[in-house]
Structure 1
Amino acid sequence: MFRGLMLILFVLLLGLQYRLWFGEPNLRQIWQLETMIEQQQLQNEQLSERNKQLEAEVQDLKKGLSALEERARNELGMIREGETFFQLVDPQPQARQR
């Protein structure tokens, strides 16, 4: 009788182990999902930081004229009336003469 009980417990243990390693969902799938969750959380943090920077830039553009002027100068080449604009150009390397 003791052997029969041990055999039944052993079969149950094997069945549970089979389900744990090969069933649906198994440990490998759970580990993969945990890795995917960690990667997604990292990406979410990066995007959240980017959103904060963009929000700060939007607020600065809405409230302050200095940021708007800086952007116009850099991107559109704005020059104020009475200012002198100097453009510095790097010299082209001379071609080898033979």
Structure 2
Amino acid sequence: MGNRFVPAALIALLVIVHGQLWYGRGSVPNVASLTRQLADQQQHNVAAARANERLAAEIADLREGLEIVEEKARSELGMVKANEIFVQIAK
């Protein structure tokens, strides 16, 4: 009876470990899913970092000179200088 108990216990333990490998919290599919989520989040972080750098450069330009203020007034508000004619070409 003792000879049959050890292999049965080892097989049961192997089945439990194998089940945890495929269906548990740290399973192979779960790790693959988390890896994909991590890659997506890293891409979003890179895009956000680029946007932050662009905004920081724009803020620095606004603090330093008036050229960007004039450019924004022309492009976003449609403002023109005195003795200037505004021409808009439709594509």
Q: Output the TM-score relative to the length of structure 2.
A: 0.77
CA-atom RMSD in angstroms: 2.2
What's the offset of the Cα at 1:9?
3.0
Q: CA 1:52/1:88 → structure 2, altered by over 3 Å: closer, same or farther?
A: closer
Which of the pair has more CA radius of gyration? Answer: 1
Task: Please list every run of 5 or more consecutive structure 2 residues that lacks an aligned counterpart in the other structure.
Answer: none
Q: Does 1:67 align with 2:68?
A: yes
Deviation larger for 65-74 or 3-12: 3-12
Q: Does 1:57 align with 2:58?
A: yes
| Counterparts of 2:56 and 2:68, CA distance in 1 | 14
Q: How does 1:1-80 map to 2 (within 5 A)?
A: 5-80=6-81
Deviation larger for 15-24 or 63-72: 15-24
Q: How many residues are matched?
A: 89
Counterpart AA for 2:63: K
Q: Does 1:84 align with 2:84?
A: yes
Q: Output the TM-score relative to the length of structure 1.
A: 0.72
The percentage of counterpart residues that share the same residue type is: 31
Task: Tell me if structure 1 keeps the 8 A contact 2:80–2:86.
Answer: no
- Larger helix proportion of the pair: 2
What's the offset of the Cα at 1:84?
2.3
| Counterparts of 1:59 and 1:44, CA distance in 2 | 22
